[in-house]
Structure 1
Amino acid sequence: MDGEKSLTFRRYEEGETPDDWDLEEKIFQQDTTYKCPTYIHRTPPCQGSCPAGEDIRGWLNIVRGIEKPPVDADGNEMDWKDYAFLRSTDANPFPAIMGRVCPAPCQDGCNRNEVEQNVGINAVEHFIGDHALETNLPLRSPGADTGKSIALIGGGIASLTAAYQLRRMGHAATIFEAHSKLGGMMRYGIPGYRTPRDVLDGEIQRVLDMGVEVKTGVKIGVDISLAKLEEDYDAVFVGIGAQSGTPIPIPGADKASNCITGVAFLEAFNDGRLQHGAQKVLVIGGGDTAMDVAAVARRLGHIEHSHEQDRPEFVVLGHTAHDVATVAKRDGADVKVIYRRPVDKMPATEMEVKHVREEGVEIHGSLVPVEVVLGDDGRARALKVAKADWSSGKMEMIEGSEHEIEADLIVAAIGQAGDLKGMEELDNGWGLVNANANYQWPDRENIFVAGDIIKPHLLTTAVGQASIAAKAIDQFLKGEKQGKPPKVNVHHFNLLEKLKETNQAPTEYAHAQTDGTDSAEWAVHNYEDRAANQIVPADELFLGHWEHDARFDRKSIEIGPEAVLGHFGERIEAPNDEEARKEADRCMSCGMCFECDNCVIYCPQDAVHRVKKSDRTTGRYVDTDYSKCIGCHICADVCPSGYIKMGLGE
């Protein structure tokens, strides 16, 4: 922590008057206004920053013990870890995988950054996911059968998520996958030591256990036409990912067999075909794929004297496969990464960059590939690069800076596209597929699309898009109009559902009642849900409530340059129960009451009071007696989560 930040104590400095504060209109007398507190549910920025739209605040509040699990008919309370898993998987059925590999944009958006450091959201999700696997927790049960069926092309995270959400709605789902196994980029694009196969298989099986049909070894567009799927199914979902790498667009690259793509390199490794690499590996790119290639190349090492057919490029291209027995002879590899922008501008996650450097990978920024230099045998022997100057904000080549970097294997991790053979009508000209805001293909109303085939991004992005697409498919099958998505299109906490869960649902509306509505049992009082339209910012929180509390960082196994060869174990460890609860307790519960009692304690009129215990639940902990309230706004000022706003017209 770089020194403590100044915490907010109150909204305005002494003597300061906001320009838009009309005192005569806003204040009747001294500290009394016509406004009274209203309890406003809004989306926290962590969730707003999560591409999957997970109810992060919700499952953190469950882990920390604020939101209580439901109780069954016999009075037995559900285990809090099981309940946290159910809340987490409402949006994302892969918490154990996401807790390991997601770069956590949610943590960048966390309001706790305004106090000291963000909440370790990924660590808690890792904990939730591993607990569910260890205890064989199932996902929610499928919905009532609707008689509708959907074909899902591709067996990666987008199709698996869409199938999960569709089964919850009661629709039949059949996945068609060209590979022999499901998983897509989780299996073939990310090294197995980052997405352990037992973890991946366990989380995929939970989805299949919901009644999802799978047909592997079937390539749509080749084995079965897209038109045939449209004929046999009520809707088609395209989630084939972008598993074709982009070659280096420079002279000589297309002539050298040892110039390959990062996607192909990783697939060969994850398939088990590639057992050793090259002595001098040069990786082009600055994203997580480039870091994965570099890390794998260091682990694989090279064989000093190998047959020509065992060269890594021939294995990657599928011409041959390595004999596992040869790995005993391998030595270390010299691995370098170059990126055309400065190193601090690389899109790769900070943790991945840190890890590969610790493992002996050299990273060089501001180097632009110019030409692949060929040897007498027609293979690449070096990459000619030039230095770039970015001081002006744009790339300017430095004259006379060209030089060669020797390499036995050049791997380009600079972009991806989809394999649309046989489905060329979907191609937007870039090897990708267009989609509207509801992830429906604009040219045909029965085809939907999500994931990397729209634009390569994060696994969690594919999860979020697939959830929205599944909802759109459901609307299409029901003949409902595809409306404009909400401004904050995520999986929101629903107070009415929570009240039903705790057997406190409002009674049926009494149409005859004309007065006394403030105490009527058919309405939820003093609560407004703005979560679909508003994200609560840090400046509306009372940050002075929070003490400085250092973030929990997961234990990471240190792997130095000497130990990396042949090391294929996991690097990070999940937190235990105590560590997870302690870290979750750092959550500021932005946009939702977490029962701190500040408003009750500081109200000078005793107008704010706790709801009686039998009626309490998340989102309904305090209430206001408006006959006592003078509108002094103290309760809103001391609310740490920004849950209270002074009402009427705002």
Structure 2
Amino acid sequence: MSTNPESASVQPLNFRRYKDGDHKPGPWQKQIFNADHSHKCPTYIQSTPPCQGSCPSGEDIRGYLNIVRGVEKPPAGMPWQEYAFRRLTEANPFPSVMGRVCPAPCESGCNRNQVEDFVGINSVEHFLGEYAIANNLGFKKPDFSSGKKVAVIGGGPAGLSTAYQLALRGHAVTLFDERAELGGMMRYGIPGFRTPRQVLDAEIQRILDLGVVARTNCRIGTDITMEQIRADFDAVFLGLGAQSGRGLPVEGADAPNCVTATSFLKAFNDGRLRHVGKRVVVVGGGDTSIDVATVARRLGHIDQIHESDRPEHAIAGHVAHDVAAVSAKQGADVTLTSIFAVDKMQASRHEVEHALSEGIAIRGGLAPVGVVRGPDGRATALRVIRCEAKIVGGKLEIKNIEGTEEDLPADLIVSAIGQAVDFTGLEEFNNGKGAVPADKNYQVQPGVFAGGDIIRPHLLTTAIGHGAIAAEGIDRFLQGEALEKRPKIDVHTFDLQRKMIEKGLSFSEVHEPIHGTDKSNVAIHNFDNRSDRYVISHKELFLGHFAYTPRNRRTIVSLTAEEALGNFDERLQALVEAQAQAEAKRCMSCGQCFECDNCVVYCPQTAVFKVPKSKSTTGRYVDTDYSKCIGCHICQDVCPTGYIQMGLGE
């Protein structure tokens, strides 16, 4: 059935409009009378919001939410949806895919959590991605060519992100992938009911339309040597991905029906795997293990199975299940185990809830200790033991509880405990630990860069972020420039100076000593962009400005155990336009002005004033007359976003 949690508008217990003990604003006379002791006046400081600081691909989240909500206006003739899409895709070319499957660490970091509930960033991204596909929006090809050629090895999120960013910079990119279609783990590791293939294909095609050449069914290291690649290209990006699964490190795990999650999902996404055993045990606890469990629940089992029809044969690629046999399917009993307690698992909370509603048994605090095998050598059960697992100093510690072993019956055991890189033919890049060593610019050696799971297995959005940073490094390398030190906070930030130039405001160069910038246009007066080094905390916001506003949630199709069998329809429905705009308005625009007028209204000296419309733009809405300012810092106190900081005059 379809459910929409938005209908439940009960104010949550964690709603906090004021700090403890504060119920209404107090008098400000004390600040005014003591202002002459502060020697400080307001300055305007742009900081990185924690949503963006938590986003591995570094999206300008606050920027595109401000466009959606109407604070930042699009250029004449451009719909706001397109303008927001183009701002978003400066960092991430896959908004529709990532709006569906990203576990959204940005939402965990959102300062709105201190008021009542985070902003549904993922859902707005999903909306913009769907709008772009429906309206056939493409990326704008550069009108120049650098004459340089770059080989991108691997067509997953890291490789595609790199190819996209390099193509925008005018470089000729050839993308190599060993599989028949591009997408990597987005295609072969995530089931289609989470990433509809027409959506993935549309977002990949946009990148290819920039002139990126794709050579599929071509593996570097075997079909083509690295020596040939180095000879034919000016630079190389390694985005091999970690698509070899890790087997269970226990005795008996070499049984034929003990498989890895990557091989299981690839067999399903290739169309070879059409049914599983009656009892399936998945070992993991992350999103991949949830994907395996929900796919197994949907595939179900068939009663009269022949030896050649066993799922492990299809997973190994020896055979493909006959479609005709699928008609006799029945539900599978699926159990997912994790060393962590269920509420401590790494999987997204909503994905866990979906799995439970579909009848999947999730058991936390269990560690595998062995595989029980029958006379034919096939696994019949997974032996587990109760355990206590925790992370101490960045290292995993597992304490088994002796005497608590039990056997979980299984016809198929799937290991979803991690992935590995296949370095066949590319052994020179292996650091001995199954990864590639790289610096902060993701450079492995001069002219060779890397990103994605070969650096560190993590999220798809992490791989996209790696690709953008590596592309910038490759671009500098091709131009013969030194690779600079990466900023402390490595994200795509709102550029106020660029915005002012778009408005028609100019900046001049400095050729002689100047005293201040109030009467000069060499810089933006009393403004500093600290986005590269500072994430603004909720403690610097005026939370009392924000009333309780329930989140606009996407409609999610929830299935029962019976309904899940054979159901491969998409579960997540995008917001409609009005919902997307309403959700964007919940954004508190942390670290940037969103034009609320509080500082102008409450300044007792009328020192803070609106910038004339001819000179104003997003992020430059107010200014200060320092001949009137007495340093009472009321403007800072009432600034909801923390954009006003007291510091000028120190």
Q: For this structure pair, what is the TM-score category when the shorter chain's length is used for normalisation?
A: over 0.9
CA distance in 2, matches of 1:350, 1:373: 32
1:176–1:168 Cα change, 3 Å: same
Letter in 1 for 2:402: E
CA distance in 2, matches of 1:385, 1:121: 39
Letter in 2 for 1:68: K
Residue 484 (structure 2) pairs with residue 474 (structure 1): no
- Is the contact between residue 496 and residue 505 of structure 1 (CA under 8 Å) also seen in structure 2? no
CA distance in 2, matches of 1:211, 1:200: 18
1:234–1:58 Cα change, 3 Å: same
1:372-428 CA-partner distances (Å, limit 9, x unpaired): 111011100111111124599853322221121110000000010111110011112
Residue 434 of structure 1 deviates from its aligned partner by 1.8
CA distance in 2, matches of 1:94, 1:591: 26
Residue 408 (structure 2) pairs with residue 398 (structure 1): no
Aligned to 1:83: 83
Higher mean alpha-carbon deviation, 496-505 vs 586-595, is at: 496-505
- Is the contact between residue 28 and residue 34 of structure 1 (CA under 8 Å) also seen in structure 2? no
Aligned to 1:325: 324
Residue 98 of structure 1 deviates from its aligned partner by 0.5
- Is the contact between residue 339 and residue 388 of structure 2 (CA under 8 Å) also seen in structure 1? no
Aligned to 1:277: 276
CA distance in 1, matches of 2:21, 2:502: 38
1:10-32 CA-partner distances (Å, limit 9, x unpaired): 99999x9xxxxxx9xx9995556
Match of 1:440 among 436, 439, 443: 443
CA distance in 1, matches of 2:424, 2:74: 49
Residue 519 of structure 1 deviates from its aligned partner by 3.0
Higher mean alpha-carbon deviation, 538-547 vs 518-527, is at: 518-527
Q: How does 1:348-367 map to 2 (within 5 A)?
A: 348-367=347-366
Letter in 2 for 1:351: H
Aligned to 1:563: 563
Q: How does 1:377-396 map to 2 (within 5 A)?
A: 377-389=376-388, 395-396=398-399
Residue 108 of structure 1 deviates from its aligned partner by 0.6
Higher mean alpha-carbon deviation, 423-432 vs 460-469, is at: 423-432
Q: How does 1:116-515 map to 2 (within 5 A)?
A: 116-142=116-142, 144-254=144-254, 256-389=255-388, 395-441=398-444, 444-506=445-507, 508-509=508-509, 511=511
Residue 431 of structure 1 deviates from its aligned partner by 2.4
Residue 515 of structure 1 deviates from its aligned partner by 7.1
Residue 133 of structure 1 deviates from its aligned partner by 0.2
Aligned to 1:19: none
1:277–1:511 Cα change, 3 Å: same
CA distance in 1, matches of 2:424, 2:539: 51
- Is the contact between residue 517 and residue 524 of structure 2 (CA under 8 Å) also seen in structure 1? no
1:428–1:383 Cα change, 3 Å: same
CA distance in 1, matches of 2:570, 2:451: 29
Residue 522 of structure 1 deviates from its aligned partner by 4.3
CA distance in 2, matches of 1:126, 1:395: 38
CA distance in 2, matches of 1:143, 1:414: 46
Q: How does 1:531-542 map to 2 (within 5 A)?
A: 531-542=531-542
Residue 521 of structure 1 deviates from its aligned partner by 3.9
Higher mean alpha-carbon deviation, 133-142 vs 79-88, is at: 133-142
1:164-192 CA-partner distances (Å, limit 9, x unpaired): 10011111110001001000000000001
Q: Which secondary structure state, in structure 2, belongs to the residue aligned with residue 133 of structure 1? A: helix
1:462-514 CA-partner distances (Å, limit 9, x unpaired): 011110000011111112112211011100111111122222233x3475796
1:536–1:648 Cα change, 3 Å: same
Residue 58 of structure 1 deviates from its aligned partner by 0.3
Aligned to 2:13: 3
Q: Which secondary structure state, in structure 2, belongs to the residue aligned with residue 647 of structure 1? A: strand
- Is the contact between residue 153 and residue 220 of structure 1 (CA under 8 Å) also seen in structure 2? yes
Structure 1: tracts of 5 or more residues without a match: 17-22, 72-76
Residue 5 of structure 1 deviates from its aligned partner by 4.0
CA distance in 1, matches of 2:210, 2:104: 28
1:649–1:408 Cα change, 3 Å: farther
CA distance in 1, matches of 2:22, 2:484: 41
- Is the contact between residue 41 and residue 531 of structure 1 (CA under 8 Å) also seen in structure 2? yes
Aligned to 1:553: 553
- Is the contact between residue 417 and residue 430 of structure 1 (CA under 8 Å) also seen in structure 2? no
Higher mean alpha-carbon deviation, 420-429 vs 30-39, is at: 30-39
1:476–1:355 Cα change, 3 Å: same
Residue 63 (structure 2) pairs with residue 58 (structure 1): yes
Residue 126 of structure 1 deviates from its aligned partner by 0.3
CA distance in 2, matches of 1:392, 1:184: 30
CA distance in 1, matches of 2:449, 2:391: 43
- Is the contact between residue 32 and residue 630 of structure 1 (CA under 8 Å) also seen in structure 2? no
Residue 84 of structure 1 deviates from its aligned partner by 0.4
Residue 342 of structure 1 deviates from its aligned partner by 1.4
1:604–1:251 Cα change, 3 Å: same
1:483–1:596 Cα change, 3 Å: same
Count, aligned residues: 632
Q: Which secondary structure state, in structure 1, belongs to the residue aligned with residue 575 of structure 2? A: coil
Residue 648 of structure 1 deviates from its aligned partner by 2.9
- Is the contact between residue 176 and residue 216 of structure 1 (CA under 8 Å) also seen in structure 2? yes
Q: Which secondary structure state, in structure 2, belongs to the residue aligned with residue 425 of structure 1? A: helix
Letter in 1 for 2:461: T
Residue 525 of structure 1 deviates from its aligned partner by 1.5
Aligned to 2:41: 36
- Is the contact between residue 10 and residue 542 of structure 1 (CA under 8 Å) also seen in structure 2? no
Residue 57 of structure 1 deviates from its aligned partner by 0.2
TM-score, scaled to structure 2: 0.94
- Is the contact between residue 143 and residue 168 of structure 1 (CA under 8 Å) also seen in structure 2? no
Letter in 1 for 2:624: T
- Is the contact between residue 492 and residue 531 of structure 1 (CA under 8 Å) also seen in structure 2? yes
- Is the contact between residue 11 and residue 637 of structure 1 (CA under 8 Å) also seen in structure 2? no
Residue 72 (structure 2) pairs with residue 67 (structure 1): yes
Q: Which secondary structure state, in structure 2, belongs to the residue aligned with residue 40 of structure 1? A: strand
Letter in 1 for 2:86: L
CA distance in 2, matches of 1:29, 1:166: 56
1:10–1:645 Cα change, 3 Å: farther
Q: How does 1:516-595 map to 2 (within 5 A)?
A: 517-595=517-595
Higher mean alpha-carbon deviation, 590-599 vs 333-342, is at: 333-342
CA distance in 2, matches of 1:105, 1:392: 19
1:612–1:32 Cα change, 3 Å: farther
Structure 2: tracts of 5 or more residues without a match: 1-10
Letter in 1 for 2:17: L
CA distance in 1, matches of 2:184, 2:516: 58
Letter in 2 for 1:104: A
1:29-53 CA-partner distances (Å, limit 9, x unpaired): 5556321110111110000000000
Aligned-residue Cα RMSD (Å) equals: 2.2
TM-score, scaled to structure 1: 0.94
- Is the contact between residue 27 and residue 33 of structure 1 (CA under 8 Å) also seen in structure 2? no
1:248-268 CA-partner distances (Å, limit 9, x unpaired): 1111111x1000000000000
- Is the contact between residue 234 and residue 477 of structure 1 (CA under 8 Å) also seen in structure 2? yes
- Is the contact between residue 27 and residue 34 of structure 1 (CA under 8 Å) also seen in structure 2? no
Aligned to 2:102: 102
CA distance in 2, matches of 1:290, 1:64: 37
CA distance in 2, matches of 1:432, 1:323: 38
Q: Which secondary structure state, in structure 2, belongs to the residue aligned with residue 78 of structure 1? A: coil
CA distance in 2, matches of 1:190, 1:56: 25
CA distance in 1, matches of 2:234, 2:515: 50
Higher mean alpha-carbon deviation, 321-330 vs 634-643, is at: 321-330
Residue 523 of structure 1 deviates from its aligned partner by 3.4
Q: Which secondary structure state, in structure 1, belongs to the residue aligned with residue 518 of structure 2? A: helix
- Is the contact between residue 495 and residue 619 of structure 1 (CA under 8 Å) also seen in structure 2? yes
Residue 584 of structure 1 deviates from its aligned partner by 0.3
Q: Which secondary structure state, in structure 2, belongs to the residue aligned with residue 614 of structure 1? A: coil
